[in-house]
Amino acid sequence: MADSLPVLVVGSIVLDSIRSPYGESKAALGGSAYYFAAAASFYANVRMVACVGEDFPDEGRHFLEKRGVDVEGFVTMPGKTFAYEAEYGDDPNHRVSLRTCLNVFEKFHPVLPPLYRSTPVVFLGNIHPALQMEVLDQVDSPEHVAADTMNFWISRSREDLERLLRRVDTLFLNDSEAKELTGEKNLIRAIRRVCEFGPSTVVLKKGEHGAVLYRENTLSVVPAYPLEIVRDPTGGGDTFAGGVMGYLARAGSFDRKTFQEAMLHGTAAASFVVEEFGPKRLMQVTSERLEERLRTLRAMIAIG
Amino acid sequence: MADSLPVLVVGSIVLDSIRSPYGESKAALGGSAYYFAAAASFYANVRMVACVGEDFPDEGRHFLEKRGVDVEGFVTMPGKTFAYEAEYGDDPNHRVSLRTCLNVFEKFHPVLPPLYRSTPVVFLGNIHPALQMEVLDQVDSPEHVAADTMNFWISRSREDLERLLRRVDTLFLNDSEAKELTGEKNLIRAIRRVCEFGPSTVVLKKGEHGAVLYRENTLSVVPAYPLEIVRDPTGGGDTFAGGVMGYLARAGSFDRKTFQEAMLHGTAAASFVVEEFGPKRLMQVTSERLEERLRTLRAMIAIG
């Protein structure tokens, strides 16, 4: 940790109510910043920019503090926390949103604590691209900027998103987002064309089909961790990104080989999250269990 | 070749008419036995059991002969060749069948030439499981039996299929087939449960998402070859199986490591087929080009 580059994350903190064929959760801790920070904190010092309402449970903040996350930029505002309701059927890659109440998040305009402004590694979690930009504007020449986005912003806030992407080094997105952003129907062409928008690196998240890295004109793949039960896929992608960026920050390097290794760590971290509703499993996981899953992943791709 | 174990294949020979967003083909050479034999013949001596009608073009047979395929069991019957029509949209993993005319295939009951009866490696391509069994019954204690099947047989001829599977070592199938066969909605559980039907090894074909091997209680994955254009996915799975089984036969070994390597070869072979309508590209491909794609695949999964 001491040697790790610090990582700044901005994103949502949400109380998630999720139904899946395996059960349901009510107002569980969640949101892109929450999952990202929980995973990245295994590897790096994380500085969090986010807001919650007065209804946010203390245990949520305590868990982050226990994991060493700097919560100076994590503010409580009058009103209610961002609340989200969604449902999954048998396909864990397909979610149906039922209700999205931004609540306090609607008026959130973060002012970064002074220490945060010199953070070398920045992750802009999936929120409005204008808000992502607001945060990025407050950071002095970061070394590496990564971002996540979603179809909603690609279609509704395209200009803001395109402006942001010009300043992003690594973009995390899924198949359908890559296709929508670029207008390409072929996935490989879509991945390559994402770079025309600014990012030099693309991390494509394919859920149960693993992830693809495009960096230095080269494609690499990692498989998903093989799970027999996926109870709640929510937060899987943000946890994955947290593992990836946390590992990179600890390594202090962003070359292709380090990225590939980082993707295995992100995959292992994400595998715990999706096994249970909310971040429960990730809150309990030990480095030993993480290491065990990394070994399985390595064995799955070892040839010869 | 000389050192390779011979491989027996039975399956369909079809004249395919395919439409995709990239164009169309009319009565192109195809069928499970055709694609399998074309690919496997890069590695092994292939013995083919199949039938065509009098309308089958000479070039189809000539190509196989040129590749050293033993066509003694490849018979011409009075009538027309099996004809198939299908269409793809933007998703290469999703095909809509428009017309299936079995023609001569409807009455096909193969009698194996004497030499064929002692073939050590058998591939039962995707045809009626009772017909697959008829062929298998004529082979004396084969060393390794692999088979392919499809949803149609799983739902319509389940008893025949289950009877066959008890004698199959390796089953090739795709995600939805694995789920339908086992009744499991989770892919990893489905893969493992396929073995309860008899096979010790499962090769799961996921098209653009690559393939998964389950053998000796261990999962391995290979990525798909990254293609910017997939004009006609027809035959991709059979070509993949041809590469896998051909490589195994040449290696004379069926252990997990050899299987993993074989899957890379199958992937490389399949990548050529789907780039063009029909088997055209596969007919032209050289060992050098195949080797080039293998290198790309290896680089995609090389960690550290």
What pLDDT is stored for residue A302 in this prediction? 86
What pLDDT is stored for residue B302 in this prediction? 86
What pLDDT is stored for residue A94 in this prediction? 87
- pLDDT surpasses 70 at B304: no
Minimum CA–CA partner of B215 in chain A = A300
CB–CB of B301 and A221 under 8 A? yes
What pLDDT is stored for residue A1 in this prediction? 66
d(CA A109, CA A4): 28
Please give the structure tokens belonging to residue A272: 């715990």
Query: By the CB < 8 Å criterion, does B303 face chain A?
Result: yes
* pLDDT tens-digit series, residues B26-43: 999 999 999 999 999 999
What average pLDDT does range B171-198 have in this prediction? Answer: 96
* pLDDT tens-digit series, residues A269-294: 999 999 999 988 888 999 899 999 99
User: Is the complex ipTM higher than 0.85?
Assistant: yes
Closest CA to B293 of B226, B204, B203: B226
Helix (H) or strand (E) holding B17: strand B14-20
What average pLDDT does range B233-255 have in this prediction? Answer: 97
* pLDDT tens-digit series, residues A126-141: 999 999 999 999 999 9
Question: Any idea of the CA torsion for A58, A19, A80, A164, to the nearest 10 degrees?
Answer: 100
Please give the structure tokens belonging to residue B302: 């090389």
CB A190 within 8 A of CB A178: yes
What pLDDT is stored for residue A120 in this prediction? 98
What average pLDDT does range B49-63 have in this prediction? Answer: 95
Between B93 and A193, the more confident residue is A193
pTM for this prediction: 0.93
CATH of domain A7-301: 3.40.1190.20
What pLDDT is stored for residue A92 in this prediction? 85
CB–CB of B299 and A187 under 8 A? no
What pLDDT is stored for residue B91 in this prediction? 86
What pLDDT is stored for residue B269 in this prediction? 97
What pLDDT is stored for residue B3 in this prediction? 81
How many contacts, defined by CB atoms under 8 Å, are there between A and B?
75
pLDDT band at A117 (very low <50, low <70, confident <90, very high): very high
Closest CA to A31 of A46, A43, A18, A42: A18
What pLDDT is stored for residue A2 in this prediction? 63
> Where do the structural domains in chain A lie, given as residue ranges?
7-301
- Best residue in B176, B187, B193, B274 for a mutation probing chain A (most A CBs within 10 Å): B187
CB contact set of A208 (below 8 Å; sequence gap of 6+): A92, A93, A224, A230, B187
CB A11 within 8 A of CB A18: no
What pLDDT is stored for residue B92 in this prediction? 85
Query: By the CB < 8 Å criterion, does A194 face chain B?
Result: no
Residue given tokens 């009510």 in the structure block: A26
CB–CB of B218 and A299 under 8 A? yes
What pLDDT is stored for residue A143 in this prediction? 97
- pLDDT surpasses 90 at B51: yes
Minimum CA–CA partner of B222 in chain A = A301
- pLDDT surpasses 70 at A211: yes
What average pLDDT does range B268-283 have in this prediction? Answer: 93
What pLDDT is stored for residue A90 in this prediction? 86
What average pLDDT does range A146-169 have in this prediction? Answer: 96
What pLDDT is stored for residue B280 in this prediction? 85
Query: By the CB < 8 Å criterion, does B183 face chain A?
Result: no
pLDDT band at B2 (very low <50, low <70, confident <90, very high): low
CB–CB of A303 and B260 under 8 A? yes
What pLDDT is stored for residue B221 in this prediction? 95
